[in-house]
Structures are given as C-alpha cells and as structure tokens.
C-alpha cells in the first residue's frame, strides 16, 4: 500500500483562483475513476472549475521515493540473511516511514536483526546508484527481475547493482526521468549520513492486517521491519500501539515534545527540543549501531552549591511518554525540582534501565516498589530528596516501610538512598544482603536505628560503605570486618559505642576510615598498622585512650606512605610523636588537638613539605620549637599549638614563607 503524495490543487475559473485544496489521498473507485480526497485551505470550491493546476510537494515525494527504494533493500537482505524462500506479504510506504511485512516460519533472532541493519546501511553507504529501466514484462522476466506481486508492476525494473533487481512502480524515480539514466536516490542518502537511515525489526505473533481473504496466508509468526528516518521524521526507534489485531507505528520525536510540555525550563536548557532528530537533542544519546535512544541525561549542569543551580532546574512533572523509550538504559534527572511530587511508578516499566539517578530532585512521599521491576539496574541513586517546601515544612521520601523490592535487583552495583527515611523499613539489611553484586552502599542520614541480625553475609564485594549520620546506638557489628575489598568505610555520627576489634586489620584494601563523632572507647588496635593503603584516618571526637606511640610508629612503616590526613583530636590519647613522622611525605592534615600527648616536637616535622593544617593545641607538648621544625613547611596554612608548654625560638628572618 502506497501513501499518495500531498498535492496542492489550485482551481481557477477564468482569471483568479477560486480555491486551494490540499490533497491527502487518492483512491481508485468505480472502475477507472480516481477520487481525490483533501482539505480546502483557501477559498470556496465550486462545481464547474475549468482549470486545475496540481503541485506535488517535492520534499514529501522524495521521502516516499527513498522509502520505496528501501523495500527493495529489505527484500534482498532478508533473502540473503534469512532464507531465499522469504516472501513479501504487504508493505506500507508513507512519508514518515515504511512498514514491510513478510512471511517466514519463525521470528527473527536479535543477532539477525543487527545483521540486517548492518547490511542495509552498508549498501546505503557504498553501493552504486539505483537504476531504473522501462521494459516489457517479457524482457523483465528474461533478466530475472523479481516480481513481488505477480504482474502489478509491469513496465519498470528497479536495480540496485549487485544487490537486487525487481519490478517496481515509478515512485522510485523522478516523474520526468523514467529513462535508462540512473536515479540519484542512493547518492542522496550517502550525502545525508548525518540523517542516518536505518532498518529495525521486531517479531510478534501473527495478526491479521485486514479482513480480506488475501491476507489469510500470513504465517504464525510475522515480522515487521520498520524503516526509520532519524533526522527528518523522528528518532531511530519505533512505537507500537495495539489496536485490536492491528499494529501501527509512530515516531518517538513526539515523545520528547510531549515530555518537554510537562516541564518548565527557565534557563532554556531544552531549547534544541524542536527538531524531530532525537539523537541531536540536548541530553539525548543514541546507540551508534541501532540508533535507539539509550541515554537521557537531564541532570542540572550546576551542582547544588552553585549560584546558578536554581535557575537551571527543570521543574514540573515527569510525563509517561517516557515509556516510549523502550531501549533506554540510562536516565538522569538529578539536581532538578519536581516540586515534592512522588517518583512515578511507571519508571518501573523502563525494563532496560541500567542507570537511574533521581538524586536531589525534590521528590517526596513513597518509594515505589515498582522500581523492583528494573532487573537490569546497576546504578540506583535516590539520595538527597529532603528539603523544606516552605519555612516550616520539611519533606522527604519518607513513606518507606518495606525494601523487599530491592531483592529483585541482583545486578545492582551502586545503591544510594542517603536522606531517604528508612526508619520504618525494618528489613533494610536483609534486603540489601540479597544484592551479591553490590559494590557501593550509601545510607547516610536515613534515620536507621538498628542492625537486624544476619545468618550469613552475601554482599561481600563492597568497595564503599557509608552508613554515617544514623542513630544505631550499638556496638560495631562483627560483619563489618569481613569486607576484604572495602576501600571507603564511613561510620561517622552514628552513636556507636564499645571498642574497635583487632579484626579491623583484615580490611587491608581500606583507603579511608571515618569513625568520628561516636562514643568508641578503649585503645586503638595496633593492627591498624596493617592497613598500608590508608590515605585518611578519621577517629576524632570519640573516647579512645592509651599510649598510641607504637601505633603511630607502625603507620609510618608502610612505604611508600599514602597517608594524607590523620585526625585523632578530641580523644584521651597519650604518648609521644615518633621521629618517623618524616616518612609521611604526603601528609596534608594532622590534628592531634584535645588529647594528652606529651614530650617534644620532633625535628622531623619540618620535612613535611605538603602539610597544610597542623593542630596540636590543648596537649602537654613541651620543649623548644626552632627554625628546624618549620624550615620546609612551605604549604602550611593553619598552625594551632596553644595550650602546651612550648617555647618558640626563631629569628625574625627565620620564618619560612607559610601559605
């Protein structure tokens, strides 16, 4: 079935035009009568007009010609890749796309679809010009031209050299150019590589295209190949709308326009969203092979601390038209403002998603369990959705009483639910324990208050664990010491009490240890010296006691020394500063204030050329600080040493040029 060209008919009677009619369709009726159907755009149509001038829309005609030529490429590809016995059932050629139905005994496989697309695009890119020849039917048969529909096309042979030769109608060629001269359609395609034409496919169960008996031969599985034009008529993808037993396709360009209509865009970030070429729209990414939209990144380009963040926020609601992006793998709407609305449940239907980031986007209310349908998800970030809707009204994602749906996300590697209220989710740890692929877990400030018991530990691949700013009010669970791959451990502000087990020495991959602002007590385990990859030690504001001279010295034995920050302030620690301090050549931050350290300051302190902050106030240090202590501290910006028994013996010209 061919969609007729749009024509503009000017009907004149004598001198001036009486009416302009836009023709939408032409049907053959009552024998050889051709009925034109259209819309009157101007004037009045009267019976008896004696002059009719018809003008064909050249741009639309060109689209139809290109799509008609492509049916030949599809037919040749199927016979080459699938089987020679494949036969065309019916095709639909319109200006926007084409549909090509064919008969075969089984559906296409995914790899066959990719191979079909690749071959068609290779032909478009490399083949010589499409050629047409007018010849009698007998001559056409002699040169073995294929006839898809018996003798319906009997005058024109269309050939793609070395690819196909078929009988075809004249819509392949220019109306004034039915000669032996090559047509330039394929050349035009090659010149439009930025408007890549592709073919895609899907398989489905049999359906009836019509009630006429001639369609009853369609086999149990019918494949539709939708030829899609990216730049002019929409995204390289298809949308299937079921209407009874019929299937129709439309383009996804309208999907983005509908999605945009639901948003307010004060900074005009989506100003490019006026073109149907979806793959060139701001924030849209397409697969290089299939052309499907696989990435939608509408993250605010300015972080929350930028003065321009507010004006660049997208606002409004997320439109369900997003579901038209069937192949979407990555969705990022973070740092925008959805005004306290709930996270839409329909996001759980984007079943190809691997990355979902809705952080700091002003969502509140329920955490939809439908997110558990995203079985391919690897990255889920719903953090920082806590904000003041007005001066007195703090809202957040707080209607969370069950995290069982998390158990379905077996491929999840990154989970961030920080500032999501999980106080009612009693099964939070059991659900997370069913995520064997988990590498990063962020549950900071989630109002957690207990650790449910675990019969076994399943998420042992953790690299990052952040459960800071909760209210556990318990001792440290023993399973914390079993994460041999753990690099970053943050347990700050959690009201932990009791001691640190010597088993902490098992965490030999650890680079950052943060346990500040708890009620931990006892001695710091000597096994801390086993952690030679440590860059940050944060044990400040606890109740640790005892002599740490030996512990500090053990840290300095790891070469090359990686430590950049040591914070032990606000404890009850005692001991001396060892001379091995000079080995910490990367140290930038040292805070030993508010303890009971004693003895002299070692001369080796002066070798720490990268040190930026030194705080040793309110201790019992004694002795004289000389130019030797300070000579190489050229990066130092903060020095606090008051409330000790130290004397400064430096000449006026002996001070280094501190930062």
C-beta of residue 530 within 8 angstroms of C-beta of residue 505: yes
Amino acid 66: pLDDT = 65
C-beta of residue 513 within 8 angstroms of C-beta of residue 567: no
581 backbone dihedrals φ, ψ, rounded to 5°: -50, -30
Distance, CA of 81 to CA of 102 (rounded, Å): 14
DSSP letter, residue 496: -
C-beta of residue 129 within 8 angstroms of C-beta of residue 186: yes
Distance, CA of 16 to CA of 170 (rounded, Å): 34
Q: Which two tokens stand for residue 136?
A: 């009698």
Amino acid 210: pLDDT = 27
586 backbone dihedrals φ, ψ, rounded to 5°: -100, 5
Highest mean pLDDT among 174-178, 338-342, 594-598: 594-598
Q: Strands 293-297, 330-332: parallel, antiparallel or unpaired by DSSP?
A: parallel
Amino acid 163: pLDDT = 59
Partners of 90 in the β-ladder: 101
Lowest mean pLDDT among 331-345, 356-370, 511-525, 627-641: 627-641
Greater confidence (210 vs 131) lies with 131
Rg (CA), the chain: 36
Amino acid 59: pLDDT = 66
Distance, CA of 131 to CA of 74 (rounded, Å): 17
Amino acid 219: pLDDT = 24
Q: Which residues contact 333 (CB under 8 A, 6 or more apart)?
A: 298, 299, 314, 318, 357, 358, 361
The closest alpha carbon to 598, from 565, 576, 566, belongs to 576
Amino acid 51: pLDDT = 65
pLDDT digits (tens, 9 = 90+) for 407-453: 999 999 999 999 999 999 999 999 999 999 999 999 999 999 999 88
Partners of 36 in the β-ladder: 26
pLDDT digits (tens, 9 = 90+) for 211-266: 222 222 222 222 333 333 333 333 333 332 222 222 222 334 556 777 888 899 99
- Report residue 628's pLDDT band, with 50, 70 and 90 as the boundaries: confident
Amino acid 360: pLDDT = 94
Distance set, CA 273 to CA 9, 103, 283, 303, 310 (Å): 33, 39, 10, 23, 21
Cα torsion 145, 150, 153, 158 to 10°: value is -20
Lowest mean pLDDT among 30-34, 200-204, 569-573: 200-204
pLDDT digits (tens, 9 = 90+) for 129-149: 555 555 565 665 555 556 554
Distance, CA of 262 to CA of 276 (rounded, Å): 18
Partners of 239 in the β-ladder: 250
Count of other CB atoms within 10 angstroms of residue 31: 5
C-beta of residue 376 within 8 angstroms of C-beta of residue 353: yes
Type and span of the H or E element at 536:
strand 536-538
Greater confidence (552 vs 151) lies with 552
567 backbone dihedrals φ, ψ, rounded to 5°: -125, 105
Amino acid 235: pLDDT = 32
Distance, CA of 256 to CA of 141 (rounded, Å): 48
- What is the overall mean pLDDT for the chain? 76
C-beta of residue 452 within 8 angstroms of C-beta of residue 427: yes
C-beta of residue 99 within 8 angstroms of C-beta of residue 183: no
Amino acid 180: pLDDT = 31
The closest alpha carbon to 343, from 310, 299, 295, 382, belongs to 382
Distance, CA of 625 to CA of 606 (rounded, Å): 10
pTM value surpassing 0.75: no
Amino acid 211: pLDDT = 25
* pLDDT surpassing 90 at residue 589: yes
pLDDT digits (tens, 9 = 90+) for 262-290: 899 999 999 888 765 677 888 999 887 77
Burial of 237 (0-12, 13-18, 19+ CB in 10 A): buried
The closest alpha carbon to 518, from 566, 461, 476, 463, belongs to 476
C-beta of residue 471 within 8 angstroms of C-beta of residue 495: yes
- Report residue 86's pLDDT band, with 50, 70 and 90 as the boundaries: confident
Mean pLDDT of 343-363: 95
Greater confidence (628 vs 635) lies with 635
Q: Which two tokens stand for residue 257?
A: 């326009």
pLDDT digits (tens, 9 = 90+) for 289-346: 777 889 999 999 998 888 888 889 999 999 998 988 889 999 999 999 998 899 999 9
Distance, CA of 119 to CA of 198 (rounded, Å): 10
* pLDDT surpassing 80 at residue 166: no
Amino acid 308: pLDDT = 85
Distance, CA of 172 to CA of 178 (rounded, Å): 9
Mean pLDDT of 205-216: 26
Amino acid 98: pLDDT = 63
* pLDDT surpassing 80 at residue 383: yes
* pLDDT surpassing 90 at residue 544: yes
pLDDT digits (tens, 9 = 90+) for 453-512: 888 899 999 999 999 999 999 999 999 999 999 999 999 999 999 999 999 999 999 999
Distance, CA of 614 to CA of 594 (rounded, Å): 13
Amino acid 196: pLDDT = 32
Type and span of the H or E element at 250:
strand 246-250
pLDDT digits (tens, 9 = 90+) for 386-411: 887 666 667 778 888 899 999 999 99
In three-state form (DSSP H/G/I as H, E/B as E, the rest C), the secondary structure along 155-176 is CEEEEECCCEEEECCHHHCCCC
* pLDDT surpassing 50 at residue 176: no
The closest alpha carbon to 589, from 517, 548, 626, 637, belongs to 637
Distance set, CA 291 to CA 111, 118, 199 (Å): 16, 12, 10
* pLDDT surpassing 90 at residue 7: no
C-beta of residue 424 within 8 angstroms of C-beta of residue 450: no
- So where are the chain's domains? 472-658
């Amino acid at each position: 079935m061919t969609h007729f060209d749009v024509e503009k008919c000017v009907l004149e009677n004598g001198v001036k035009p009486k009416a302009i009619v836009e023709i939408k369709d032409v049907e053959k009726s009552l024998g050889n009568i051709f009925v034109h159907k259209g819309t009157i755009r101007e004037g009045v149509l009267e019976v008896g007009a004696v002059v009719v001038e018809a003008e064909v829309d050249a741009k639309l005609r060109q689209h139809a010609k290109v799509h008609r030529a492509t049916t030949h490429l599809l037919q040749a590809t199927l016979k080459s890749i699938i089987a020679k016995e494949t036969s065309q059932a019916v095709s639909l050629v319109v200006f926007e796309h084409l549909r090509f139905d064919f008969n075969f005994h089984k559906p296409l496989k995914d790899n066959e679809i990719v191979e079909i697309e690749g071959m068609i695009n290779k032909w478009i890119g490399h083949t010589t010009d499409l050629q047409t020849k007018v010849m009698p039917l007998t001559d056409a048969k002699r040169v073995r031209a294929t006839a898809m529909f018996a003798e319906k096309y009997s005058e024109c042979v269309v050939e793609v050299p070395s690819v196909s030769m078929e009988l075809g109608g004249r819509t392949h060629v220019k109306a004034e150019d039915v000669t032996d001269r090559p047509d330039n359609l394929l050349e035009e395609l090659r010149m439009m590589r930025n408007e890549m034409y592709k073919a895609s496919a899907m398989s489905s169960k049999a359906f009836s295209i019509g009630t006429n008996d001639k369609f009853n031969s369609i086999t149990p599985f019918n494949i539709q190949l939708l030829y899609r034009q990216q730049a002019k008529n929409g995204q390289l993808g298809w949308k299937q709308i079921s209407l009874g037993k019929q299937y129709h396709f439309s383009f996804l360009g309208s999907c983005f326009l509908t999605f945009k209509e639901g948003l307010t865009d004060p900074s005009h970030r989506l100003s490019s969203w006026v073109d149907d070429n979806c793959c060139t729209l701001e924030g849209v990414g397409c697969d290089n092979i299939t052309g499907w939209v696989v990435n939608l990144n509408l993250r605010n380009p300015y972080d929350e601390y930028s003065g321009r963040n507010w004006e660049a926020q997208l606002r409004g609601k997320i439109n369900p038209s997003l579901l038209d992006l069937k192949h979407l793998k990555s969705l990022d709407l973070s740092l925008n403002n959805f005004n306290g609305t709930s996270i839409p449940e329909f996001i759980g239907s984007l079943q190809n998603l691997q990355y979902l980031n809705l952080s700091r986007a002003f969502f509140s209310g329920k955490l939809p369990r439908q997110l558990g349908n995203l079985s391919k998800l690897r990255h889920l970030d719903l953090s920082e959705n806590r904000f003041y809707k007005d001066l007195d009204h703090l809202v957040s994602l707080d209607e969370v009483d069950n995290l069982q749906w998390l158990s379905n996300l077996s491929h999840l590697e990154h989970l961030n639910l920080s500032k999501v209220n999980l106080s009612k989710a009693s099964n939070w740890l059991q659900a997370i324990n069913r995520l064997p692929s988990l590498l990063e877990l962020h549950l900071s400030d989630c109002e957690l208050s207990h650790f449910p018991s675990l019969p076994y530990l399943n998420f042992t691949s953790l690299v990052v664990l952040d459960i800071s700013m909760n209210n556990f009010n318990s001792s440290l669970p023993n399973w914390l010491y079993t994460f041999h791959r753990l690099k970053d451990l943050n347990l700050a502000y959690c009201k932990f009490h009791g001691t640190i087990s010597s088993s902490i020495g098992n965490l030999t991959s650890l680079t950052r240890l943060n346990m500040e602002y708890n009620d931990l007590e006892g001695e710091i385990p000597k096994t801390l010296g086993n952690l030679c990859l440590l860059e940050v030690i944060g044990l400040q504001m606890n109740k640790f006691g005892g002599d740490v001279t030996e512990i500090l010295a053990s840290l300095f034995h790891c070469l090359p020394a990686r430590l950049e920050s040591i914070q032990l302030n606000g404890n009850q620690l005692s001991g001396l500063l060892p001379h091995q301090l000079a080995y910490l050549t990367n140290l930038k931050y040292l805070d030993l204030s508010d303890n009971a350290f004693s003895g002299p300051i070692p001369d080796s302190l002066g070798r720490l050329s990268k040190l930026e902050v030194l705080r040793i106030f309110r201790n019992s240090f004694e002795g004289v600080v000389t130019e030797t202590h300070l000579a190489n501290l050229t990066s130092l910006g903060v020095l606090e040493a008051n409330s000790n028994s130290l004397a400064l013996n430096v000449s006026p010209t002996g001070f280094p040029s501190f930062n």
